[in-house]
């Protein structure tokens, strides 16, 4: 091993190289695979057809999140037979291949990217994959975590490795102090808005700088979660005391002397001084404001105090025509003030923003207020553990008294695969990660926002910042 300064990414990568065949991609060892009902059935079927086994059942864990209804009644009797079959198929596959499953009725069930960290299964320095592009969430712990397709899910089940070409490294530093009311979600929306949906293609991004250091693990997860929206393979944050304190006492984390021993190793998962990145960008935290997306890709962001952009303002004809098309789909007129746009639905949830801190922040805004009569508002905790924690703090009552629906854990309205969907033409303020056409239901119009903006918007019935909601 050389003593050259290394990036966090390089350290994790090097420790997982099984073999580097000449002229071929590196065979990279995968410490953990997370599985869910949507992207796994064809992978298990592939194993069956080839007569292959799961190589390491002790490195796989499964749960159901994408399809599951988020009402108790809905979960008892899943009406959508195709969804019910997919869930039953995961159950059957996990039993057949010997993989632990957090089923619909398990107290550990939840969104796959929420339960990994909260159970302490996600740890620094690991390689983690899942058939879901938001796997980058786990990078907040200094783990190399990335989304894969179903063929790769099968590959990891069979070999516990993946052939990988070496990505490029990209450091995004956010320096300084965030203004009041500006959150981790606004940081990542600002980054995507600045570098674009392909700004980090082929790269593993490390988020660094004093504003990232100051964030909680929940905030760091929100940022790493949306790395893919800038095209990145993965997002990372270096290990520090915040990481270690989050992990202390969690189920999957060693206790006592073993914990101290583990932390000594975890602390090495940082980027060395003078390590070189292929690309760097620095953003000033003090310049950030609450953001909202106005269009149909996550780079189309604007300040809450801004206006809907005008296609004519873009010199590039391609950008102008994309803008035009987005505005048509979104049913918006150029020049309209964002804060004058009414919404029909508010969704607080998803692997981006459904953790306890997100719910606390939203509840603090909603407390003592009423959701506008014209708005349907849902709060969907990311997991049963988040839900229980929130209930023990009385957050469910805050939301219910304000007129929000309080739901069972799952992906819910993030992606239109379960009963929680927008109707055609409905407009949402959503704490999720994608505003693509039809993402939350056919014809639905999605605006991405932070949990506090979502809560304020629910109360005022139009896009709003928390300071507009009197306390």
User: In angstroms, what is the minimal distance from the CB of 18 to other proteins?
Assistant: 5
Phi and psi at 54, nearest 5°, equal -80, 125
* Residues of this chain, 271-300, that bind other proteins according to CB under 8 A: 296-297
Nearer to other proteins, 100 or 344 (CB): 100
Please tell me the total number of residues recorded for the chain in this structure. 471
Which helix H or strand E contains 199, and what residues bound it? none
User: In angstroms, what is the minimal distance from the CB of 358 to other proteins?
Assistant: 22
Q: Does 106 bind other proteins (CB under 8 A)?
A: yes
Q: Does 448 bind other proteins (CB under 8 A)?
A: no
* Residues of this chain, 295-314, that bind other proteins according to CB under 8 A: 296-297
HSE toward the beta carbon, residue 57, CA cutoff 13 A = 13
Q: Does 108 bind other proteins (CB under 8 A)?
A: yes
Site string for other proteins, 166-205 (x = CB under 8 A): -------------------------------xx--xx---
Q: Does 121 bind other proteins (CB under 8 A)?
A: yes
Find tokens 């392909």 and name the residue: 198
Binding segment (CB under 8 A) for other proteins, from list 187-195, 218-226, 318-326, 391-399:
318-326
Nearer to other proteins, 306 or 419 (CB): 419
Q: Does 21 bind other proteins (CB under 8 A)?
A: yes
Find tokens 């799961």 and name the residue: 54
User: In angstroms, what is the minimal distance from the CB of 340 to other proteins?
Assistant: 27
Count of C-beta atoms within a 10 Å radius of residue 282? 12
Nearer to other proteins, 195 or 460 (CB): 195
The correct pick among 369, 439, 447, 462 for binding other proteins (CB under 8 A) is: 439
The correct pick among 8, 64, 68, 119 for binding other proteins (CB under 8 A) is: 119
Q: Give the Cα separation of 421 and 189 in Å (integer).
A: 23
* Residues of this chain, 213-252, that bind other proteins according to CB under 8 A: 228-229, 231, 233, 249-252
Nearer to other proteins, 288 or 413 (CB): 413
Structure tokens of 353? 């923003």
The correct pick among 324, 367, 436, 461 for binding other proteins (CB under 8 A) is: 436
Three-state DSSP at 108 gives coil
Q: Does 323 bind other proteins (CB under 8 A)?
A: no
Q: Does 419 bind other proteins (CB under 8 A)?
A: no
User: In angstroms, what is the minimal distance from the CB of 13 to other proteins?
Assistant: 14
Q: Does 34 bind other proteins (CB under 8 A)?
A: no
The correct pick among 89, 166, 303, 388 for binding other proteins (CB under 8 A) is: 89
Nearer to other proteins, 162 or 304 (CB): 162
Q: Which residues contact 49 (CB under 8 A, 6 or more apart)?
A: none
* Residues of this chain, 344-373, that bind other proteins according to CB under 8 A: none
* Residues of this chain, 133-172, that bind other proteins according to CB under 8 A: 133, 147-152, 154-155, 158-161, 163, 165
The correct pick among 7, 8, 10, 38 for binding other proteins (CB under 8 A) is: 38
Q: Give the Cα separation of 95 and 117 in Å (integer).
A: 24
Query: 191: closest CA among 294, 316, 273, 287?
Result: 287
CB 86 within 8 Å of CB 92: no
CB 275 within 8 Å of CB 11: no
Q: Give the Cα separation of 334 and 271 in Å (integer).
A: 44
Starting at the earlier edge strand, list the strands of the sheet with 445-448.
405-406, 376-379, 345-348, 427-430, 445-448
Query: 242: closest CA among 360, 383, 357?
Result: 357
CB 66 within 8 Å of CB 36: yes
Q: Does 384 bind other proteins (CB under 8 A)?
A: no
User: In angstroms, what is the minimal distance from the CB of 461 to other proteins?
Assistant: 28
Q: Give the Cα separation of 78 and 90 in Å (integer).
A: 15
User: In angstroms, what is the minimal distance from the CB of 363 to other proteins?
Assistant: 26
The residues pairing with 70 across neighbouring beta strands, listed in sequence order, are none
CA distances to 36, 352, 449 from 348, rounded to whole Å, are 22, 10, 9
Q: Give the Cα separation of 418 and 421 in Å (integer).
A: 7
Nearer to other proteins, 297 or 397 (CB): 297
Structure tokens of 83? 């969804």
Q: Does 417 bind other proteins (CB under 8 A)?
A: yes
Find tokens 């959503």 and name the residue: 430
Binding segment (CB under 8 A) for other proteins, from list 120-128, 215-223, 277-285, 303-311:
120-128
Number of residues that bind other proteins (CB under 8 A): 89
Nearer to other proteins, 144 or 237 (CB): 144
CA distances to 14, 112, 269, 398 from 135, rounded to whole Å, are 20, 9, 19, 31
Q: Does 338 bind other proteins (CB under 8 A)?
A: no
* Residues of this chain, 387-416, that bind other proteins according to CB under 8 A: 415-416
Binding segment (CB under 8 A) for other proteins, from list 126-134, 352-360, 370-378, 395-403:
126-134
Which helix H or strand E contains 391, and what residues bound it? helix 384-392
């Amino acid at each position: 091993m050389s003593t050259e300064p290394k990036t966090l990414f390089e350290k994790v990568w090097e420790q997982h190289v099984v073999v580097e065949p000449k002229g071929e991609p590196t065979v990279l060892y995968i410490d953990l695979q997370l599985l869910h009902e949507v992207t796994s059935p064809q992978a298990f079927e592939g194993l069956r057809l080839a007569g292959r086994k799961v190589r390491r059942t002790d490195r796989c864990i499964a749960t159901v999140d994408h399809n599951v209804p988020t009402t108790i009644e809905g979960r008892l009797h899943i009406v959508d037979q195709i969804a019910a079959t997919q869930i039953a198929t995961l159950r059957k596959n996990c039993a057949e291949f010997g993989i632990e499953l957090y089923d619909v009725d398990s107290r550990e069930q939840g969104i796959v990217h929420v339960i990994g960290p909260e159970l302490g299964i996600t740890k620094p320095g690991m390689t983690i994959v899942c058939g879901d592009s938001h796997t980058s969430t786990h990078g907040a712990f200094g783990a190399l975590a990335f989304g894969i397709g179903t063929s790769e899910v099968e590959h990891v089940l069979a070999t516990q490795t993946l052939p990988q070409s070496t990505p490029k490294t990209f450091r995004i530093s956010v320096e300084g102090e965030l203004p009041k009311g500006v959150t981790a979600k606004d940081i990542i929306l600002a980054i995507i808005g600045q570098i674009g949906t392909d700004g980090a293609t082929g790269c593993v991004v490390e988020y660094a700088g004093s504003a990232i250091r100051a964030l909680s693990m929940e905030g760091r997860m929100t940022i790493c979660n949306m790395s893919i929206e800038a095209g990145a393979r993965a997002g990372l944050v270096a290990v520090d005391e915040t990481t270690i304190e989050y992990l202390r006492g969690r189920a999957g984390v060693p206790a006592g002397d073993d914990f101290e021993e583990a932390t000594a190793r975890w602390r090495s998962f940082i980027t060395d001084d003078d390590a070189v990145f292929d690309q760097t960008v620095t953003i000033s935290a003090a310049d950030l404001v609450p953001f909202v997306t106005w269009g149909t890709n996550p780079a189309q962001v604007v300040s809450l105090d801004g206006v809907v952009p005008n296609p004519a303002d873009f010199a590039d004809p391609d950008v102008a025509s994309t803008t035009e098309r987005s505005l048509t789909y979104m049913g918006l007129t150029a020049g309209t003030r964002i804060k004058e746009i009414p919404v029909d639905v508010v969704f607080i949830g998803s692997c981006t923003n459904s953790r306890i801190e997100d719910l606390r922040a939203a509840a603090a805004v909603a407390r003592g207020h009423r959701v506008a009569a014209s708005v349907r508002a849902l709060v969907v905790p990311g997991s049963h553990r988040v839900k229980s924690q929130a209930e023990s703090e009385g957050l469910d009552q805050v939301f219910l008294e304000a007129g929000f629906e309080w739901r069972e854990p799952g992906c819910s309205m993030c992606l239109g695969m379960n009963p929680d969907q927008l109707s055609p033409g409905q407009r949402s303020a959503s704490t999720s990660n994608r505003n693509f056409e039809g993402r939350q239901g056919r014809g639905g119009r999605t605006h991405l926002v932070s949990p506090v903006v979502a809560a304020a918007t629910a109360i005022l019935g139009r896009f709003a910042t928390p300071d507009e909601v009197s306390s």
